[in-house]
Amino acid sequence: MDIPESGVLKVLGLLELLADYERIGVDDIRDLTGMEFNELEPIIDTASMLGLIKIEGHLLSLTTKGKHLVKKDPEDRKEYLARIVEQMPLFKEIKKCLRKEHYISIRDIEEMIESDVDEGDLKESIKHIIAWGSYAEILDYDHNNGMLRLR
């Protein structure tokens, strides 16, 4: 199952950078941002997984979907991105569970993804799932009890 490996703002930052170029190499992005490849890789992977960028060798470019996203104002951008996130199998599964149960725990999410994630990355993956679900206004997370619900 595809799981976001990076936060929302980092992906949006990459898209903004790519909007200034038709195609740009990963090394050029490293030079422009000062980020190392291991920092960029999860951002690139998440943007690609969402269909927002195209990767050709070491060159990156915005897809049509990515171009549409960066042209939108912040509120429309959020709505557009929410439609993309809602189509991800992971978020479809989470929504399906929440329609039945109304609340699910972080442990429930961990069980959904544990076969797809290294144990050491589980907490980070959960953090990204909550961030994307919250940004897309799909999920609400209660930090006090560790429960998620549909927004």
**pTM for the predicted model, two decimal places:** 0.90
> CB–CB of 93/133 below 8 Å?
no
Largest CA distance in the chain: 48
**8-69 has which CATH code?**
1.10.10.10
* Tokens at 1, concatenated: 């199952």
- Span 18-32, mean pLDDT? 95
> What pLDDT does residue 118 have?
82
Q: How far is CA 141 from CA 60, 84, 123, 138, in A?
A: 34, 20, 15, 10
Q: Are 8-69 and 73-150 equal in CATH topology?
A: yes
Residues paired with residue 105 on neighbouring β-strands, in sequence order:
147
> What pLDDT does residue 117 have?
86
Domain assignments of the chain as residue spans, ordered by start: 8-69, 73-150
Interval 76-124: pLDDT, tens: 999 999 999 999 999 999 999 999 889 999 999 999 998 888 877 888 9
- 76 residue type, one letter: D
> What pLDDT does residue 87 have?
93
With CA atoms as reference, report the closest residue to 85 among 122, 138, 43, 7. Answer: 138
Average pLDDT of the chain, as a whole number: 93
Strand order in the sheet with 59-62: 24-25, 59-62, 53-56
**73-150 has which CATH code?**
1.10.10
Interval 44-77: pLDDT, tens: 999 999 999 999 999 999 999 999 999 999 889 9
List the end-to-end C-alpha distance of the chain, in Å, as a whole number: 23
DSSP code, position 5: -
> What pLDDT does residue 120 have?
77
